[in-house]
Amino acid sequence: MRQLMVLGDRRLEWREVAAPKLRKSTDALVRPVALSICDADAAYLKGAFPSRDAFCFGHEFVADVIETRDDVTAFSRGDRVVVSFLVACGTCDRCRRGFPAACTTVPPKSAYGFGIFGDWGGAGCDVVHVPYADTMMIKLPEGVSAVDAASVGDNLSDAFRCVAEGLLEEPGAPVLVVAGGGAPSISLYAAALAHVLGSEQVDFIDSDPVRLAIAESVGANAIEMRKPPSRHGSYPVTVDASGHPSGEWLSAALRSTAPYGRCTSCGAYHGAASLPVGTMYTQGVRFTIGWANIQALMPKVLDLLAQRKVPVQRIHTVAQWDEAIEALANPPAKLVLTREAIA
């Protein structure tokens, strides 16, 4: 089969490799039909993270089931499914409690498409091996396109957790999204979802005019800032999507969180950062950071897509599967690759 590899020098290359096989009774094999480029993927190609040995690229995808083993009861050949990027068993204590990101059956942070979180392969290929298939996959609802749902297995669900709990707790609450470019698609998804979930005011801070225009098109108030403010108002729900190692944008989001409000960071941080702990203590800020528990979130996100409530088409730029290398030379805010005809 053919798969898209990222080499040690960050170049992309198509290679022919042996196709994976079923290993256990809970396995499935699937054929990806849409591949969404995660914010972390684009950042890696631009040099934001240390280089790694060659690995198969991609981890946000929709696929068709081509084969299953006996203990896979929820799916059969031909089903179109969203696959979680995060590998988890679904049966350990942490999975049952809704925390598959802390699954104790597989090695910590097991995931597709990174090359450093276990030998799971990637989604930029013709066939993907899916362990624990009944837990890892969910059927694509009728009427939802593979392109629209391509990011449900990671970034779109991550954005949902950033705003959904706070808006459920305080319906209509104002939301602040501090973008900053570290997680461009998650920030835009978060803005769109906040609007869809009933926020009466969604403010979106960024420095990039293209992202600001997209944010405005999905119902947010676009606010251009090139430097992080000390504080920007007081919001019951705030989102940090900056991922900036200094922590300055994150600190701005935390300081802008209303008393006992919720601040969620979807940025990727790999070191120490200075945080306004005193302000957080005084305000009683409830702060969430880390990998989202994707399997627990995917059904809720797909339900919104089935209701045609989330305008992902305004965020996505779509290209053909075979154009991956060319399209990734200068990726947009959110690139989705498809094997099917582009509407």
CA distances from 141 to 63, 79, 144, 302, 335 (A): 13, 10, 6, 7, 22
Structure tokens at 305: 């897509």
Pair 235, 261: CB distance under 8 Å: yes
Question: In sequence order, what are the beta bridge partners of 265?
Answer: 240, 289
Pair 136, 88: CB distance under 8 Å: yes
CA distances from 325 to 4, 13, 100, 114 (A): 9, 8, 32, 17
Task: List the strands of the sheet with 12-16, edge to edge.
Answer: 12-16, 2-6, 55-56
pLDDT tens readout for residues 141-168: 999 999 999 999 999 999 999 999 999 9
Pair 310, 196: CB distance under 8 Å: yes
- Rounded Cα distance, 22 and 185, in Å: 33
Q: What pLDDT is recorded for position 292? A: 95
Question: In sequence order, what are the beta bridge partners of 262?
Answer: 237, 286
Residue type, 150: A
Question: In sequence order, what are the beta bridge partners of 287?
Answer: 263
Pair 185, 208: CB distance under 8 Å: no
Q: What pLDDT is recorded for position 51? A: 87
pTM: 0.95
Structure tokens at 319: 């290209």
**Residues of the chain where predicted confidence (pLDDT) is lower than 70:** none
Q: What pLDDT is recorded for position 240? A: 96
Structure tokens at 337: 């690759």
Which structural domains are found in the chain, ordered by start? 2-153+292-338 (3.90.180.10), 155-289 (3.40.50.720)
Q: What pLDDT is recorded for position 93? A: 97
In angstroms and rounded to an integer, the radius of gyration of the C-alpha atoms of the chain is 19
- Rounded Cα distance, 18 and 3, in Å: 10
Q: What pLDDT is recorded for position 48? A: 81
DSSP 213-276: HHHHHTT-EEEE-SS--S----EEEEEE----TT-HHHHHHHHTEEEEEEEEE-S---S-----
CB atoms inside a 10 Å sphere around CB 141: 15
For the chain, the maximum distance between any two Cα atoms, rounded to a whole number of angstroms, is: 57
